Each structure stands twice: as structure tokens, then as C-alpha cells.
């Protein structure tokens, strides 16, 4: 049976770079891998076909010969059987080294100590703290390096010994059907060493649980959803590995007066009926203190006044936002009899004049037109 074109097998063009070949092979190998398709001979054949194509096209000499002469230009002892100079285990490990539990360092040896995990801490702030910035003291539960063994995990006077399973390499070869794989040694977990006399304080883990006290500097202008990264303040790495990072997630609590939207602040200002009708001057709170707000005569409810520069300077941005004050006219309550009489006198004096309530007249006209249209 004639072999298919290798480029066609991988689904790439003839000028494909090595990175494109690797991506194409990874996709096909993941799809047709024998472990994912047990007892499927067709999938196994497709997997072998893709592997053969990848081995040839990633070898510069074999690829040059194939491009010039096709399948006839290849040594049958080297192409297709994985029995020549090419080592299929190395090819598969290069593409899928991390899928079966390990990653390889240079030359296939063990890598250095693993990095510790990153941590997340949720911090609630008041609006004032978020806008002006603050330094907040927190206590974080972490896995820290054991001081007694200095993170080695070995008891005082002893030290880790070479792993007997991998001979210190940190990886072992495992047979997977017709090929072999390199994966992290399960006994030493890639470190290449074992602990025969564990530290009594950490039990050989090299890390202990403790609460770490930190001062978190909150920059001015942070908002809900922002994160502050503290490098190296996460969990300590196993066996003396580097520490991870701590990410402080900001959540700004609701404020009783202000609502924030980006760099602007909003608030509602209750205005009495006489002040709205006759005009007046009110004190309005801001994050910097109180300011005077002049309310002109005949102000309507819903009117918004802008106080420039009384908003927020965002942590990533320039310029200060504004404070937007929305007028809410407050209807008098718990009136005395005298006050009710005065209100009735005012009502009668206003009568049905359009000039006193232009919006009321236009609204009722709109309602009338609406119902007339339904007839």
C-alpha cells in the first residue's frame, strides 16, 4: 500500500516551520494516541503514520532527501520503523513531555526545585481607603520554609540521598506499547533525592504552616477587581524551591453616600420644596470635606450638578474625576394644620396656570393623545 505524503498526513504545507510541525503532530497524537483509543487499530495506524511523518520532517537531512526524492529518498532502516538513528521516545518526550507528569531539563535531566504555589487574599477596603491609598496590615496562612532543616526536609546531621529509582536524574523511562516515555520519577518527584531521616518538625516536607504578617501598600485609586502582586510572598517551594507570589484581590465596600463609576462619584442630594422653588445654598459632602452647592430657583428633581475635581484619580490613569450630585426634591411630611392651610392657599393661587407647571401640562397632553390614538 502506497504511503501518503508526509505533509498531507500532518496537514501542513511544504514550507511549514518546525513549530508548525510540532503543533500539527501534537494535535494528531492527542487525537489518535493508543491510550485514548484502546483496541482501535485504525487510530493506532494513524498515530504511527503521524509519528513517522513528524520524525522525518523534523530531521533536516531526512526532510531534504524526502523533499527531493519522496519516500524513495529515505533509508528504510531509518524512516518508518523508528529503529535507526532517530529515537522515537525522545521525539514523543519533546512534544508531550509534560502530559505524562514531568518536564525535562536540558539533556533530559532533572529540573531544579519546584516553585511554590501562588496565593490569593481577598481584601475589603472602604471607599476612602481605595481613593486615598493606605497601608493595611494582614496575616496570611502560608506554607513557609522549615527553619529547623532549612527546607531540605532532612533531620539535623543528615542530608538527602540519591534516589534509588532514577539514580538522581529525576526522571525514569516507562514503556508505553511500542515506544518508551520519559516521565517524572514518582519516588522523588523529580528532585533526584530521597530523605531517609526526615526532619521532626516538618516530617520531611521541608515546609511548615504558619501565619505570615505583611504590610500591604494600597496605591491611591484602586477599585474592585484590581489586584496587587507581592512577589515571593506566596507559599515556599518544596525542598528549598523559590516561593510563589501573593495576589491581593481588592473589593471596595459600598458607601452610604457615594457610588463610584470609574473616576467619577455620584450622590443624591435631597432638596426641600421651598429651596427648589425659591433657590438656596446647601452643604454637600465630598471625600475632601464639605463644599457649598448653589441651587438656582425653579430647580427640578433629577437635575444633576457637576463638582469638578471632586472625584477620584484612578490608579492607572491621569486626571481627577468629578462628583455628580443629583437633586431629589423632598415632599414635606407630618405637616401641621397651619402648614396644610398654607399649602392649600399655595395650591389655589397656582391654579391651573401652565406657566407654573409646564411639564405637568405637557405630560397630561401626551396621555390624552395616547388614549385618543387607541380609539
Phi then psi for residue 125, to 5 deg, are -125, 150
Q: Residue 4: CB partners within 8 Å, gap ≥ 6?
A: 49
- The pLDDT confidence band at residue 86, using thresholds 50, 70 and 90, is very low
Distance CA 258, CA 269 (A): 11
pLDDT in tens, 267-289: 999 998 889 889 989 889 998 88
The pLDDT value recorded for residue 124 is 95
Total residue length of the chain: 375
The pLDDT value recorded for residue 100 is 41
- The pLDDT confidence band at residue 355, using thresholds 50, 70 and 90, is low
Task: Give the largest CA-CA distance in the chain.
Answer: 113
- Of the listed ranges 65-74, 206-215, 342-351, the least confidently predicted one is 65-74
More confident residue, 87 or 270: 270
With 50 as the cut, is the pLDDT of residue 94 above it? no
Q: Which of these CATH numbers, 3.40.50.720, 3.30.2230.10, 2.10.230.10, 3.30.420.40, describes 119-252? A: 2.10.230.10
Per-domain residue ranges for the chain?
A: 6-96, 119-252, 259-369
Instruction: To the nearest 10°, report the CA torsion of 314, 320, 321, 325.
Output: 130
DSSP code of residue 239: G
β strands within 201-322, DSSP E: 207-218, 227-230, 246-252, 259-261, 264-272, 280-286, 289-295, 304-307
- The pLDDT confidence band at residue 66, using thresholds 50, 70 and 90, is confident
- Rounded to 5°, angle at Cα 132 from 142 and 233: 15
With 80 as the cut, is the pLDDT of residue 165 above it? yes
Q: Tell me the CATH class for 6-96.
A: mainly alpha
57 forms bridges with which residues in the sheet? Answer: none
Q: Tell me yes or no: is domain 259-369 CATH 2.60.260.20.
A: yes
Amino acid at each position: 500500500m502506497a504511503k501518503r505524503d508526509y505533509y498531507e498526513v500532518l496537514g501542513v504545507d511544504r514550507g511549514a516551520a518546525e513549530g508548525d510541525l510540532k503543533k500539527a503532530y501534537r494535535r494528531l497524537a492527542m487525537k489518535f494516541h493508543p491510550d485514548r483509543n484502546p483496541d482501535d487499530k485504525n487510530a493506532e495506524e494513524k498515530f504511527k503514520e503521524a509519528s513517522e511523518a513528524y520524525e522525518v520532517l523534523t530531521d533536516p537531512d531526512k526532510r531534504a532527501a524526502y523533499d527531493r526524492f519522496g519516500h524513495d529518498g529515505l533509508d528504510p532502516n531509518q524512516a518508518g520503523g523508528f529503529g535507526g538513528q532517530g529515537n522515537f521516545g525522545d521525539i514523543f518526550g519533546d512534544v508531550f513531555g509534560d502530559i505524562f507528569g514531568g518536564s525535562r531539563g536540558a539533556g533530559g535531566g532533572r529540573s531544579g526545585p519546584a516553585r511554590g504555589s501562588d496565593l490569593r487574599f481577598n481584601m475589603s477596603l472602604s471607599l476612602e481607603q481605595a481613593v486615598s491609598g493606605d497601608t493595611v496590615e494582614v496575616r496570611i496562612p502560608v506554607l513557609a520554609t522549615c527553619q529547623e532543616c532549612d527546607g531540605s526536609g532532612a533531620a539535623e546531621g543528615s542530608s538527602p540521598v540519591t534516589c534509588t529509582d532514577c539514580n538522581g536524574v529525576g526522571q525514569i523511562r516507562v514503556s508505553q506499547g511500542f515506544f518508551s516515555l520519559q516521565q517524572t520519577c514518582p519516588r522523588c518527584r523529580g528532585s533526584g533525592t530521597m530523605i531517609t531521616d526526615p526532619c521532626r518538625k516538618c516530617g520531611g516536607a521541608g515546609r511548615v504552616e504558619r501565619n505570615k504578617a505583611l504590610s500591604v501598600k494600597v496605591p491611591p485609586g484602586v477599585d474592585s477587581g484590581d489586584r496587587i502582586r507581592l512577589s515571593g510572598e506566596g507559599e515556599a517551594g518544596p525542598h528549598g524551591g523559590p516561593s510563589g507570589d501573593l495576589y491581593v484581590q481588592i473589593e471596595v465596600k459600598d458607601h452610604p453616600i457615594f457610588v463610584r463609576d470609574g473616576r467619577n462619584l455620584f450622590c443624591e442630594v435631597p432638596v426641600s420644596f421651598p429651596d427648589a422653588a425659591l433657590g438656596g445654598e446647601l452643604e454637600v459632602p465630598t471625600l475632601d470635606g464639605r463644599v457649598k452647592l448653589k441651587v438656582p430657583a425653579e430647580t427640578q428633581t433629577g437635575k444633576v450638578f457637576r463638582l469638578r475635581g471632586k472625584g477620584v484619580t484612578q490608579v492607572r490613569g491621569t486626571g481627577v474625576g468629578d462628583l455628580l450630585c443629583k437633586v431629589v426634591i423632598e415632599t414635606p411630611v407630618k405637616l401641621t394644620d397651619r402648614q396644610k392651610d398654607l399649602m392649600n392657599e399655595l395650591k389655589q393661587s397656582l391654579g391651573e396656570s401652565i406657566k407654573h407647571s409646564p411639564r405637568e401640562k405637557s405630560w397630561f397632553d401626551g396621555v390624552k393623545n395616547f388614549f385618543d390614538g387607541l380609539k
